[in-house]
């Protein structure tokens, strides 16, 4: 029997604590590796890497209008990312942001279509509609939350299933009672102007982005400065000890899902009131699911989520320019995004260890 034993003068060991610097370094390494890999694939595709990357960069941050578009694209995923932060901090696995976003959009639409002659000034109308979005989002998040808290039903399954329920309900409504009369497409009538989100600095950027930033600050404040956030984190990190010390786990679970649902619902409301000005079939290109990735990329921290969502917004926006300047299809950007996520998780794991000389 032959056994080859190679003895290296190093041993691998787990780090006890990962410093902030090291954790940031792992992100930089992940991004660099992903971009290099993407560049490799672009050249395999037979395109000039320089031109393509320049197109993406120019299309996302190259001009004022490009930057504005990037921020617009970042808005809904920033909000769904924040919804995920709230849930994941409590280790309540809400995968239903997509459905809650739909619920939010439909909530605002319901109020508009049910009370068409309100004639409210925008100052009142818009908050009312966004509030309706948050309520319906909270309900759609609250159902799995209640089932989890009361009967310990797996929240992953319920939230995923409810995504389908609300999307089919939306399709039905847009194909029936809510459809614009005489329209061939699945959409409602155009909303009254008093419901349009105001624009900032005479650009296309609507206040939804500002609302999202304020929400990010509020999530930060909730998580680190408030009793409820303390209890949410306690539930996530050790529900047994939290229970022993008098934290009502069921209550925290339900509140977490209501909050998470409300923020995702707000994303839906902001998107249709800010961009489409009507409920339109397919208005979300998976914003809810992207929010989960954003949360992972942003390390479940509100500031990280802000940065990650703008980065994703930029990639999405840049992909249009890339398609114009080269033959690389738009969907290539999805590939880059997937690559970044995998690399992030990979390098995060790698950086947990270090080599030590024996």
Write out the residues near other proteins by the rule CB under 8 A.
Answer: 13, 15-17, 225-228, 230-231, 233-234, 237-238, 240-248, 356, 358
* Interatomic CA distance for residues 96 and 80, integer angstroms: 10
Could you say which DSSP state residue 176 is in? T
- Nearest approach in angstroms of CB 78 to other proteins is 25
DSSP per position, 26-58: HHHHHHHHHHHHHHHHHHHTT--HHHHHHHHHH
Return all residues near 66 (Cβ < 8 A) that are at least 6 apart.
Answer: 58, 59, 60, 317, 321
3-state secondary structure of 206: strand
If you search the block for the tokens 């939290």, which residue do you land on? 242
Alpha-carbon 84 to chain mean position: 7
* Interatomic CA distance for residues 159 and 188, integer angstroms: 26
- Nearest approach in angstroms of CB 238 to other proteins is 4
* Interatomic CA distance for residues 268 and 52, integer angstroms: 32
What is each CA distance from 190 to 54, 109, 257, in whole angstroms?
38, 10, 32
Looking at beta carbons only, is 185 or 357 nearer to other proteins? 357
- Hey, what are 108's tokens? 């605002």
- Nearest approach in angstroms of CB 246 to other proteins is 3
3-state secondary structure of 280: strand
Looking at beta carbons only, is 203 or 250 nearer to other proteins? 250
């Amino acid at each position: 029997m032959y056994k080859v034993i190679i003895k290296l003068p190093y041993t691998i060991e787990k780090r006890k604590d990962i410093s902030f610097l090291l954790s940031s370094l792992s992100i930089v390494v992940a991004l660099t590796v992903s971009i290099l890999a993407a560049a490799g694939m672009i050249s395999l595709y037979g395109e000039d890497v320089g031109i393509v990357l320049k197109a993406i960069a120019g299309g996302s941050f190259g001009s004022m209008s490009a930057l504005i578009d990037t921020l617009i694209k970042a808005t809904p995923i920033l909000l769904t990312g924040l919804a995920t932060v709230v849930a994941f901090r409590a280790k309540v696995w809400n995968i239903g942001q997509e459905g809650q976003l739909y619920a939010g959009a439909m909530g605002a639409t319901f109020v508009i279509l049910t009370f068409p002659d309100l004639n409210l000034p925008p100052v009142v109308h818009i908050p009312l509609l966004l509030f309706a979005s948050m309520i319906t989002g909270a309900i759609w998040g609250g159902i799995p939350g209640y089932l989890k808290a009361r009967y310990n039903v797996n929240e992953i399954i319920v939230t995923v299933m409810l995504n389908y329920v609300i999307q089919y309900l939306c399709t039905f409504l847009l194909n029936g009672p809510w459809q614009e009369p005489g329209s061939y497409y699945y959409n409602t009538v155009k909303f009254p102007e008093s419901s349009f989100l105001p624009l900032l600095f005479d650009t296309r950027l609507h206040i939804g982005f500002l609302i999202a930033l304020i929400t990010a600050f509020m999530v930060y404040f909730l998580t680190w400065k408030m009793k409820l956030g303390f209890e949410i984190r306690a539930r996530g990190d050790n529900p047994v000890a939290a229970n022993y010390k008098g934290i009502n786990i069921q209550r925290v679970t339900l509140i977490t899902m209501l909050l998470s649902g409300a923020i995702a619902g707000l994303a839906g409301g902001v998107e249709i009131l800010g961009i489409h000005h009507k409920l339109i079939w397919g208005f979300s290109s998976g914003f809810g699911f992207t929010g989960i990735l954003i949360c992972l990329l942003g390390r479940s921290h509100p500031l990280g989520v802000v940065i990650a969502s703008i980065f994703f917004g930029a990639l999405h926006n840049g992909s249009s320019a890339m398609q114009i300047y080269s033959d690389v299809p738009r969907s290539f950007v999805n590939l880059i995004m997937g690559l970044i996520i995998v690399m992030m998780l990979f390098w995060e794991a790698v950086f947990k260890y270090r080599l030590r000389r024996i």
